[in-house]
Amino acid sequence: MKDIWRIAVSILFILLIFIATPIFYTLFSLIPHLGKFLANNPSILQHFVMILVSCLLMTWIAKGNRKDYGLTLSWKFPVLRVVSFSIALGLIATLIIILLDFSTGSMPAEGMSMLQRILFVWLLASIAEETLFRGLIQGYLAPLKIISLKIGNVKLTLPVIVAALFFALVHLMLLIMGVYPGVVLLIVIFGFILGLLAGYYKEATGSLLPAFIVHACFNIGGSLPGLFF
């Protein structure tokens, strides 16, 4: 029962952040130029709110347990392997979208300049989403690590799997933004794989650093075909 309750509370954390976004937008809209900018770029505010609220909640509930929440710095993971695999994963996802001709509808990050992609997709989105899902959510679920699934030599714990699942399912909101359903389905599937990879290395190192790198490299790989097609 306690396990189910902890998962339910983690869902409430996610909902809290999405509820907080329009509240912050209302406050910032009182500043004329900033309000207009955020109205044209709603995901930027959402990602800043993710970082702010996640950090506040982690500070409140971590109680000095920095490692479970990834609030440490560690390079003890195979950096080159993680970087290359993450870039390849993002590249494959985008190539599938192109080959299946799913790109005819609205696409995430459509219309962004290269600088905007680097700042807001590669960096800001990666940091914000990993802070929420691998930091706050996976950290809060850390007591459930005793439940795990072994695939070959890799052990995936319940916190890793649940955080990855929540991360993937949140992308269903892209349907509301007019993104083509086939694209959303692929984003959910590859998002789940990305979440498992990021969560595995975050748990193994006790640091959010590898999760940031996995996510950023995935986004970089996903942007590469756009340079040629």
pLDDT tens column, 95-153: 998 888 765 555 555 566 677 778 888 899 999 999 999 999 999 999 999 999 998 88
E strands present in 64-180: 148-151, 154-157
Give the global pTM. 0.91
List the structure tokens of 200.
Answer: 């595995």
How far apart (Å, rounded) are the C-alpha atoms in residues 156 and 180?
A: 31
Q: Are 170 and 98 in contact (CB under 8 A)?
A: no
Distance between CA atoms of residues 203 and 208, nearest Å: 9
Tell me the average pLDDT across 8-23: 92
| pLDDT of amino acid 229 | 55
**What distance in Å separates the CA atoms of residue 148 and residue 194, rounded to the nearest whole number?**
18
The pLDDT value given to residue 30: 78
List the end-to-end C-alpha distance of the chain, in Å, as a whole number. 51
Dump pLDDT digits (tens) for 167-200: 999 999 988 878 888 889 999 999 999 999 999 9
Average pLDDT of the residues in 47-76: 90
Phi and psi at residue 180, in whole multiples of 5°?
A: -55, 135
Which pLDDT does position 5 carry in this prediction?
92
| Residues 173, 94: Cα–Cα separation, whole Å | 19
What's the mean pLDDT when you consider all of the chain? 88
**In this structure, are strands 154-157 and 148-151 parallel, antiparallel, or unpaired?**
antiparallel
